[in-house]
Each structure stands twice: as structure tokens, then as C-alpha cells.
Amino acid sequence: MQLAVNFSWQLGQLLQENAITVDLIKCPEWAGMVNSASKFGKVTVHFEIGIGNGSVKNLDFEMIKRFLRTTDTPHLNVHLLGDSTLTADSKPDEIRLLDRWKIDIEYLKLRLPDQNIVAENLPYLPTYPENRISSRPWLIQELLTSQDIGFLLDLSHLRITAHYENLDFKAFASEFPLDRIEEMHLTGLKTYANYLTDHFEMGKEDFAAARWATSQIKAGLWQSPKVVAFEYGGAGDVFSWRSEISVLRDQVPQLYALIHS
């Protein structure tokens, strides 16, 4: 397993000072950020690709190929989009969504033959009702098995979904295709604007969840991911205000020790 951390100027400063160690620097598909991050270490790109709505036909495939060729990105990631017009627990609607996912994955395979693909679970919460149907474990299991692709387990997304579905997150996790994990994401959770939200610093419960997940991996109960990403910090209006250098200085070494122990 390799530890990746979201790129921010705070992360860059700590790396330049040799104050922390990471294996990979995680960037969105922004050329400027990738170029800046590459000065500090190896870069992995997290693509903003959604499947289920046909938008894959509008992707810039030359850009995708360039990033896959010039960075240390281990696979092509996609996000499992839902649809607010479809009803969770309606078998016909679930099949409709599954078929849309399959069509988009098949198109990606056509345009990017021999490329490893991993699919990420998105969080269901009242502000994202369309994700209730897309967070169904059996749908994700069926997609990954039928298309022979990997799983990007976002543990924070899973915990948020379990919270709003009134489920124990550990029991909920057991329903997912854990034998296909290729990447895992970790963040802290906080109540923000009245909803449980990710991409914050890690608290006691978040570290406990991370330790439990890594213990499952090390016990051989889950497939070991190539990358474990700490999705804290970043740039722009969404992430710049939660990119504290003190958090990175304290928590990155803890997570590095956790996955490398």
C-alpha cells in the first residue's frame, strides 16, 4: 500500500522541509496543479469522471492518456453516479442504473483498451438523494464482477451513507466487493451546514475507522489496495479553507505509519 495525500501549498511546504513523508501526491486532472505537485514527488491523478449519465462520450481522452502516461497514476477512476428520477429498492430502476453503468464502462474500455478501471462509491445523504440508489452494494458488486473492474472504496462515503441509512458501517461495509479493492480513501467527518460531511481532519472516530479498515486488509479479509489516499486539504473554494498545515504535520505521519506498519 502507498499513502497518497491531496496536494496543497501546505503539503508542498512540509514536503520541501522534509517534515513529512508521502508515497504519492494526489491531484485532480488540472495540468497546473499536476505540474506544481510533481516538483515535490510522484503524482497520482484522481479523475473527475462520472458514469451512468453518458457523459463519458464527451471526455478528453487525449488528456486522460497523457496523465496516465506521464504520472504514477495506477488506474483510471470513475464515480458511480445516481439519478434522482430513479427509486432505490425498485428492482427495475436499479437494473436501469446498472445497465447505464455497464454501457459507460464498456465505452471507456473501447477507448482505453487494457486500462485498469476502478469505480468509487458516492455518499448518500439528504443533499444528494440521487446517490441513494447508486450506493446499493449489490449494484456495485454486480457492476464490478460483470465488467471485471476494481473497487475504489471511499470509507468516508460509506460511513456517511450508513449514517443516513441508520446502519452499522462495519456491517454495511461487509456487503461491498471487498475482494476487488484497488484504492481506499480516508478523511475525517464533521457535521457541517447540518449534514455529516467529509474532507475534514481526522478525529478519534475517524482514526478508529481507519485502523479497523487497515486491520481487515492486513488480516487478509479485504484485498490490499495499491493506494490509500488521505483526502484532506487542497486548493480552491471547496478545500483551501480546510488545509491546515498543523493538521498535515500531525496526521500524515500517523497515517503513513498505520499503512506501512
Residue 238 pLDDT: 76
Residue 242 pLDDT: 85
Instruction: Identify the H or E element spanning 4.
Output: strand 2-6
Residue 241 pLDDT: 79
Q: Report the distance separating Cα 205 and Cα 116, nearest Å.
A: 33
Q: What are the grid coordinates assigned to 51, written together?
A: 458514469
Task: Read off the pLDDT of residues 18-53 as tens digits, 9 standing for 90 and up.
Answer: 999 999 999 999 999 999 999 999 999 999 999 999
Helix, strand, coil % over all residues of the chain, rounded to 5: 45, 20, 35
Domains in the chain, start-ordered, CATH in brackets?
2-260 (3.20.20.150)
Is the pTM higher than 0.85? Answer: yes
Q: Report the distance separating Cα 197 and Cα 190, nearest Å.
A: 5
The rounded average pLDDT for each run of 10 residues, N- to C-terminus, in the chain (261 residues) is 97 98 97 97 98 97 98 98 94 98 98 97 96 97 98 98 98 98 98 95 98 98 98 85 94 98 88
Report CA 189 to chain centroid distance, whole Å.
15
Residue 111 pLDDT: 98
Helix (H, G, I), strand (E, B) or coil at 251: helix
The DSSP code for 57 is: G
Residue 64 pLDDT: 98
Q: Phi and psi dihedrals of 153, rounded to 5?
A: -85, 110
CA dihedral 131, 132, 133, 135 (to 10 degrees): 80
Q: What percent of the chain has pLDDT over 70?
A: 100
Q: What are the grid coordinates assigned to 108, written together?
A: 471507456
Q: Report the distance separating Cα 33 and Cα 234, nearest Å.
A: 10
Instruction: Walk across the sheet containing 24-28 and list its strands.
Output: 43-46, 24-28, 2-6, 227-230, 181-186, 150-154, 117-120, 76-80, 50-51
Instruction: Identify the H or E element spanning 27.
Output: strand 24-28
Residue 155 pLDDT: 98
